[in-house]
Copies of this chain bind each other. A is one copy, B any other.
Amino acid sequence: MMATYYSDRKCISATEKMNTNSSNMMALAPNTSKKRETVCIFGTGDFGRALGHKMIQCGYHVVYGSRSTQISNLVPKDAEVLSHAEAAQKAAIVIIAIQRQHYNFLTPLAEILRGKVVVDISNNLKLNQYPESNAEYLAQLLPGARVVKAFNTVSAWALQSGALDASRQVFVCGDDTEAKEMVMNIVRALGLTPLDQGSLLAAQEIENYPLQLFPMWKFPIFLSLGLTAFFFFYCLALDVIYTYIYEHNNFSFFIAMTIPNRICPVVALILLGLVYLPGVLAAIIQLYRGTKYRRFPDWLDKWMLCRKQLGLIALAFASLHAVFTLASPLRSFVKWRNAKPIISQALNNKTEPLDTTNAWLSDSYLALGIIGFFFFVLVGITSLPSVSNSVNWREFRFVQSKLGYLTLILCTAHTLVYGGKWFLSPTAYKWYLPNIYMLSLVVPCAVLVVKFVLIFPCVDKPLTQIRQGWERNPKSSEQSNYIINKSAV
């Protein structure tokens, strides 16, 4: 029964489709088993058993090392269960499926494990929980063993069910190349993709990896949430509270659609400006210093590395703005507002002619917004991993820089045309505060003005020279750190 169940799970799982027609007869025929080597697994917990099952399916002979050889009804049928020492002696590869805090029981086995490939698959509960990685700690405990870190990013459930959506990649690291290659062969045989991450020093990072939750996204998300909150209360004050106090209108329902649709474009435009601001700052710094061989300040470095995330969040806000705007004719408030002038025209018995200036303005800002959004989406699509992997560096830079600036120009123009007429109108300054779309223009306009100055030949020429390695004051680089600071991608 157990074997039946497992045999309809496939070993070959390179594509999802292949995972699916589970009716094939991939029986665990003995002639397959003998093809592959024997692997020893220490520990019969969930992961140890799941891994063992998968390996048996793929033709390996699996020996479990366990304190008690009696708990075995959960252990795969075709596997042997022996004592730790006996099991280890049967195989060249020993997988340690045990938590780090129990590693010290391995010390007496150090002699048996000498020269063997010992695979550390453990994870921690917190980032940087211990001073050294589990794999390095294991290597210290077993000085003669060839320790390899692997499999820690794979979930036991995914391994068994074949639903390996997020975990086909197995990071492998270790100091012994041959040992690493042996482990990578097992990884490949299980239908997973090994990624050689270098020496055992990389284990810390590999162990931290499955604990991370979008680390690169944290700052951009907090920033955008902060901006959103700020502008929400700003709008609430000006659009709802001010109106209620001075005009006695209850526009509290603005909270649902009007205010979100005011916040979204503002945050999107500011974030888009912030994507291109560090490049401009970097150029100014390089011009001022007269060399590219000095490190940028740390904040600028970090900022530059999260531009992609900032841009994608800006795109998300821009998309929301687009949908909110397109949905606005469905709102009962908008229907009511649109009906008012029609009824008044009918009651006054006259038909107003078309205001051509107004038609120009309304069509222009809509067209600018639509085309800006179109290019924004295009830039966003090239950020998809599979698309950016299939373009070369020149193409990537063309899209991200040229099309990105075009997007910024179009979106800034969209905002300017939309709200330009209000800059001089006193009603736009309720409580002496500017309307939020004015605030949204500060960053992008600053970026565009500085960028415009930077493309003047008198500025562009020295900058290009600096980026090609020229130094205004060559001796300055002697105190500097070595780094190629090439700013705007």
Residue of B nearest to A312 (CB): B381
| Oligomeric state, in copies | 3
Cα of A353 to Cα of B459 in the assembled complex, Å: 60
- A35 at interface by CB-CB < 8 Å: yes
- A211 at interface by CB-CB < 8 Å: yes
Chain B proximity mask over A362-405: 1 for CB below 8 Å, otherwise 0: 11101100110110001000011111111111111110000000
CB distance from A81 to the nearest CB of B (A): 13
Contacts of A345 in B (CB 8 A): 339, 343
Chain B proximity mask over A30-74: 1 for CB below 8 Å, otherwise 0: 001001000000000110011001000011000000000000011
Q: With A26-B205, A256-B363, A393-B158 in contact, is A343–B344 under 8 Å at CB?
A: no
Q: Offer 6 A-B interface pairs, CB within 8 angstroms, sorted by A.
A: A59-B199, A160-B484, A165-B308, A214-B398, A328-B330, A336-B354
CB distance from A171 to the nearest CB of B (A): 7
For the complex of A and B, the 4 pairs showing the least CB-CB separation, nearest first, are: A166-B396, A386-B386, A256-B363, A346-B346
- B205:A388 contact, CB within 8 angstroms: no
- B374:A359 contact, CB within 8 angstroms: no
Interface centre among A35, A160, A332 (most CB of B within 10 A): A332
- B359:A171 contact, CB within 8 angstroms: no
Cα of A36 to Cα of B434 in the assembled complex, Å: 62
Q: With A212-B17, A484-B157 in contact, is A393–B167 under 8 Å at CB?
A: yes
- A387:B389 contact, CB within 8 angstroms: no
- A11:B202 contact, CB within 8 angstroms: yes
Please tell me which one of the listed residues B204, B260, B327, B338 contacts residue A24 in the complex, with CB atoms under 8 A apart: B204
Interface SS of A by simple majority: helix
Please tell me which one of the listed residues B16, B325, B387, B388 contacts residue A330 in the complex, with CB atoms under 8 A apart: B325
Contacts of A316 in B (CB 8 A): 374, 378
Residue of B nearest to A320 (CB): B374
- B26:A201 contact, CB within 8 angstroms: yes
Cα of A301 to Cα of B153 in the assembled complex, Å: 23
Residue of B nearest to A210 (CB): B392
- A245 at interface by CB-CB < 8 Å: no
CB distance from A264 to the nearest CB of B (A): 10
- A29:B201 contact, CB within 8 angstroms: yes
- A1 at interface by CB-CB < 8 Å: yes
Interface stretch (choices A187-195, A271-279, A438-446): A187-195
- A330:B329 contact, CB within 8 angstroms: yes
Contacts of A398 in B (CB 8 A): 213-214
Cα of A404 to Cα of B269 in the assembled complex, Å: 28
- A216 at interface by CB-CB < 8 Å: yes
Residues 190-240 of A at the B interface (beta carbon under 8 Å): 191, 195-199, 201-202, 204-206, 208-216
Contacts of A173 in B (CB 8 A): 12
Please tell me which one of the listed residues B153, B188, B343, B397 contacts residue A393 in the complex, with CB atoms under 8 A apart: B153
- A347 at interface by CB-CB < 8 Å: yes
- A14:B205 contact, CB within 8 angstroms: no
- A209:B392 contact, CB within 8 angstroms: yes
- A458 at interface by CB-CB < 8 Å: no
CB distance from A235 to the nearest CB of B (A): 14
Contacts of A356 in B (CB 8 A): 250, 252-253
Please tell me which one of the listed residues B205, B257, B301 contacts residue A366 in the complex, with CB atoms under 8 A apart: B257
CB distance from A368 to the nearest CB of B (A): 8
- A319 at interface by CB-CB < 8 Å: yes
Please tell me which one of the listed residues B198, B347, B366, B397 contacts residue A58 in the complex, with CB atoms under 8 A apart: B198
CB distance from A59 to the nearest CB of B (A): 5
- B253:A370 contact, CB within 8 angstroms: no
- A322 at interface by CB-CB < 8 Å: yes
- B392:A167 contact, CB within 8 angstroms: yes
- B171:A12 contact, CB within 8 angstroms: yes
- A473 at interface by CB-CB < 8 Å: no
Contacts of A19 in B (CB 8 A): 305
Cα of A317 to Cα of B275 in the assembled complex, Å: 27
- A478 at interface by CB-CB < 8 Å: yes
